């Protein structure tokens, strides 16, 4: 179980469960970087790199990028200097193979995961949340047209960047992403429960992002 000061954290949850929103708050509070494999892919797509070209087709269809590709970039990122005192993983691991690779990699360096936050949201709520999601092109902050609206329409509160809807946030792709989550990623809850690392957080819309964040801090004793 997580102790005060523990800093290697995984954020687990279906697409639309609020991982990005809570990661932004947590990274500020804990002073550790958020590592989002989805953000790494999107940056590579924007830059037109070979990795971006490889990932784009999978992402547009709502499928998972192959394990070998994701594992290599995620572990490389975790080894960067700014992660030496901790990291917050958002969107990785998403399969048991990724979780095993992460476990082995950290163990080899005398490190480990301190806590796994599961953001629990009823499936029927996820589609509504994702279809209203808007993301800042500059800093990646997440908004929702009605649930978390920016102060000025279309502009980020934090950095004035332009807000946009992600390519893969259309309804058809979203339904596939949720199905992929249920098949490939949901088993990770049992995986981390067995290791006594799972911290379940009720994160439905009724709670609201502030209440969810308060529950996360309580669970982490942060
Ligand atoms: P996200 O921003 O976390 O919702 O990720 C967007 C998309 O990037 C996913 O639907 C996948 O296509 C891909 N992706 C991100 N992280 C992973 C991962 N850990 N394993 C496989 N694919 C991933």
Share of the chain above pLDDT 70, in %: 97
Q: Which of 16, 21, 41, 102 to mutate to test the pocket of ligand 1 (most atoms within 8 A of CB)?
A: 41
Ligand 1: atom nearest CA of 180 is 10
Distance 52 CA to ligand 1 centre (A): 12
Question: Which domain range does residue 204 map to?
Answer: 8-124+186-220
Is residue 206 in a domain?
yes
Question: How many other β-carbons are positioned within 10 Å of the β-carbon of residue 1?
Answer: 11
Q: Note whether residue 147 is domain-resident.
A: no
- Cα separations in angstroms, 70 against 20, 97, 168, 205: 18, 11, 18, 30
Catalytic residue check, 166: yes
pLDDT at 1 > cutoff 50: no
For CA atoms 31, 35, 39, 40, the dihedral sign is positive
- Is the pLDDT at 6 greater than 70? The verdict is no
Q: Does residue 2 lie in a domain region?
A: no
Q: Which pLDDT band holds residue 154 (cuts at 50, 70, 90)?
A: very high
Q: What are phi and psi of 144, to 5 degrees?
A: -135, 140
Name the catalytic one among 7, 42, 77, 94. 94
Locate the ligand 1 atom nearest the alpha carbon of residue 92 and give its number. 19
Q: What is the pLDDT of residue 66?
A: 98
Q: Tens digit of pLDDT for each residue in 31-64?
A: 999 999 999 999 999 999 999 999 999 999 999 9
State the total domains in the chain. 1
Tell me whether residue 141 is in a domain.
no
Domain of residue 75, CATH code: 3.40.50.300
Separation CA 1–CA 18 (nearest Å): 23
Q: How far is the CA of 63 from the centre of ligand 1 (A)?
A: 8
User: 97-101, 171-175, 197-201: which has the minimum mean pLDDT?
Assistant: 171-175
Residue 77 covered by a domain: yes
Global pTM reads 0.89
Given a cut of 60, is residue 4 above it in pLDDT? Answer: no
Share of the chain above pLDDT 90, in %: 84
Q: Give domain status of residue 213, yes or no.
A: yes
- Whether 145 is in a domain gets the answer no
125-141, pLDDT tens digit by residue? 998 899 899 999 999 89
């Amino acid at each position: 179980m997580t102790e005060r000061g523990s800093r290697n954290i995984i954020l687990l949850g279906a697409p639309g469960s609020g991982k990005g929103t809570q990661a932004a708050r947590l990274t500020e509070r804990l002073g550790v970087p958020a590592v989002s494999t989805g953000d790494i892919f999107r940056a590579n797509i924007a830059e037109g790199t070979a990795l971006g070209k490889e990932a784009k087709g999978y992402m547009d269809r709502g499928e998972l990028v192959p394990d070998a590709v994701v594992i290599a970039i995620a572990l490389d990122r975790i080894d960067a200097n700014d992660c030496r005192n901790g990291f917050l993983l958002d969107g990785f691991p998403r399969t048991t193979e990724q979780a095993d690779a992460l476990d082995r990699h950290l163990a080899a360096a005398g490190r480990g995961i301190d806590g796994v936050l599961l953001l629990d949201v009823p499936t029927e709520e996820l589609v509504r949340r994702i279809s209203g999601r808007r993301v800042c092109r500059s800093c990646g902050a997440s908004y929702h047209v009605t649930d978390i609206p920016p102060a000025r329409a279309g502009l980020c509160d934090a950095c004035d960047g332009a807000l946009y809807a992600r390519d893969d946030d259309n309804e058809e792709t979203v339904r596939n992403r949720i199905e992929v989550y249920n098949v490939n990623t949901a088993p990770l809850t049992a995986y981390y429960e067995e290791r006594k690392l799972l911290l379940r957080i009720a994160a439905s819309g009724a709670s609201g992002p502030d209440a969810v964040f308060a529950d996360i801090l309580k669970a982490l004793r942060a």
